[in-house]
Amino acid sequence: MGGGAVVSMVVLCLLAMVLHSEVAQAATYVVGDKNGWGYGTAGWEKGKSFKADDILVFNYPKGVHNVVAVNKTGYDECNTIPSDAKVYTSGNDQIKLVKGLNNFICGIASHCDFDMKIQILAS
């Protein structure tokens, strides 16, 4: 086998590794894109396909909003259910999706009623 063939094989192997790792790598999504996490964010998640371990980034003015990881009842009723739901308050929260249904609402005042909620089914 000539040197050129060996080099091509090495290149192909490296290429395969790079492609493979890209497929395996979790994606990162900025919730609401440039608008961030705010009133009317609901619906941003529609038409996207999320996977377990993908990261959601919630950007908002710290103290004005928060992010509460609620269950489906909490999402439907705009309540922070269950009572031990995890609450994020940094203004730049990075949350990893779990397989199945992931529900997030803003737990401050009645912001959730103004569509500050998202529901994602991660595969």
Ligand X SMILES: *[C@@H]1O[C@H](CO)[C@@H](O)[C@H](O)[C@H]1NC(C)=O
Footprint of ligand X (CB under 6 A): 71-73, 81-82
Binding site partner of 67, from Cu ion, ligand X, none, Cβ cut-off 5-8 A by kind: none
CB of 121 to Cu ion, least distance (A): 23
Is the peptide bond prior to 82 cis by the omega test (within 30 degrees of 0)?
Answer: yes
E-assigned strands of 1-123? 28-30, 55-59, 67-70, 86-88, 92-96, 100-105, 117-122
Q: Letter for the amino acid at 4?
A: G
CB of 102 to ligand X, least distance (A): 13
* Termini Cα distance of the chain: 45
Give the residue at shortest CB distance from ligand X.
82
Of 67 and 120, the one with the shorter C-beta distance to Cu ion is 67
CB of 41 to Cu ion, least distance (A): 10
